[in-house]
Amino acid sequence: MTDLQAAKRVVLDYYADLDALSGDQDIAAVLRKHTAEDYSWRGMHPWHEQVGADAVAETFWVPVQEAFSPLQRRPDVFLAGESVVGDTADVWVCQMGHLLGLFDHPWLGIPPTRKMVFVRYSEFHRVEGEQIAETALFVDVISVMRQAGHYPLPPQTGSSHIHPGPRTHDGLLYETQDAAEGEATIELVERMVADLLEANEIANEIGEDRMPSSVLANCWHDDMIWSGPEGIGATYTIDRYQQQHQYPFRTNLTGKRFNGHIARFGEGNYACFFGWANLTNIATGGFMGLPGSGVDADMRVVDVYRRDGDKLAENWVFIDLLHWLDLQGLDVLARLRQLTGQEEL
């Protein structure tokens, strides 16, 4: 049995050192202390893939610390597990929540507000021994843009707000969990995914993408909460989820190809996964209020789930929409920098 508690401790020690930094302290030194020599890092657009602690510090963490200070970590979910993807028993740790700070300096061309902002994040770490070997960090940049008064997209179908953590307030799994509970959660997620794949096959046969609500009701509570990324928004109940996200997604995107996941695991009543990229699709027009492109575009997606009994109750979703739009010729950040006269990231 893999010592998941030891893996959690590796990540928590890293966070403790990173969060204690202030002023001109050496961020790269902290990353070097806690990461492997060939540390691999994945970030959303515009950071993409980086190798080594120094590159990650310079590309992401130094600008974040400079823009949002003092920076406060406010996690809502924390879990670990052996990924069910692939043939190796890789151990991953996931933390999800918000980084809170005063937005006093420009970030990615977004003008500062001098007010507090919440940077929504979900971070995955693959742990080897006493070091972090690999990280994937998803942050909701478009949410920061909206908080700063520069929302760049047409009106979204779901709600815009600071996403709360689990309704049950039990998402921080610092202590050892019953292995059977984690297995039950990941099995339910796998069953839910299988239902969706079967529905996709039926839709392709009959040419109808409006999935009946009964398919979702197999694995979801009626009062489910789907907390999607800014640009799509959050929805509540199966009915509104279908109206405000699933139907636009299914009917206005075509040529969908599932590319698999990098990691997928569960612990206790929680499960999560991410891919790079999970999904490829073609916008035909209408999704997110945007025109069609006819271009194969990748979606890098994170899902974090909470199980309540024998069904799923909550789902937090991150999508690298800036990357998906950039592949179709819309560089949102470049346009913002042009409009605000800030040419540097």
Boundaries of domain holding 61? 4-147
Q: What is the 3-state secondary structure (H, E, C) of the chain?
A: CCCHHHHHHHHHHHHHHHHCCCCCCCHHHHHHHHEEEEEEEEECCCCCEEECHHHHHHHHHHHHHHHECCCEEEEEEEEEEECCCCCCCCEEEEEEEEEEEEECCCECCECCCCCEEEEEEEEEEEEECCEEEEEEEEECHHHHHHHCCCCCCCCCCCECCCCCCCCCCCCECCCCCCHHHHHHHHHHHHHHHHHHHHHHHHHHHHCCCCCCHHHHHCCEEEEEEEECCCCCCEEECHHHHHHHHHHHHHHHEEEEEECCCCEEEEECCEEEEECCCCEEEEECECHHHCECCCCEEEECEEEEEEEECCEEEEEEEEECHHHHHHCCCCCHHHHHHHHHCCCCC
- The verdict on residue 153 lying in a domain is no
pLDDT of residue 25: 76
- The verdict on residue 173 lying in a domain is no
pLDDT of residue 74: 98
CATH number at 91 reads 3.10.450.50
pLDDT of residue 207: 59
pLDDT of residue 281: 93
Whether residues 58 and 188 fall in one domain? no
How far is it, in rounded angstroms, from Cα 192 to Cα 185? 11
Whether residues 129 and 237 fall in one domain? no
**For the chain, how many residues are written?**
345
pLDDT of residue 24: 65
pLDDT of residue 339: 83
Whether residues 300 and 193 fall in one domain? yes
The residue type at 171: G
Whether residues 210 and 122 fall in one domain? no
Whether residues 183 and 304 fall in one domain? yes
- The verdict on residue 343 lying in a domain is no
Both tokens of 75, joined, read: 């996690």
How far is it, in rounded angstroms, from Cα 320 to Cα 4? 28
How far is it, in rounded angstroms, from Cα 336 to Cα 319? 20
Whether residues 15 and 83 fall in one domain? yes
Task: Select from 131, 147, 163 the last residue of a domain.
Answer: 147
Whether residues 218 and 138 fall in one domain? no
Q: Which residues pair with residue 254 across a beta bridge?
A: 282
pLDDT of residue 203: 66
- The verdict on residue 300 lying in a domain is yes
- The verdict on residue 341 lying in a domain is no
Whether residues 304 and 249 fall in one domain? yes
* Phi and psi torsions of 16, nearest 5°: -60, -45
pLDDT of residue 156: 96
pLDDT of residue 200: 72
Could you say which residues of the chain have pLDDT below 70?
1-2, 23-24, 202-208, 342-345
> Using the 8-state DSSP alphabet, how is residue 288 labeled?
G
- The verdict on residue 323 lying in a domain is yes
How far is it, in rounded angstroms, from Cα 238 to Cα 100? 31
pLDDT of residue 1: 44
Q: How many domains does the chain have?
A: 2
Both tokens of 164, joined, read: 């709360």
- The verdict on residue 171 lying in a domain is no
Whether residues 52 and 106 fall in one domain? yes
- The verdict on residue 174 lying in a domain is no
pLDDT of residue 206: 59
Whether residues 322 and 186 fall in one domain? yes
Whether residues 27 and 124 fall in one domain? yes
Whether residues 27 and 140 fall in one domain? yes
Task: Select from 129, 147, 165 the last residue of a domain.
Answer: 147
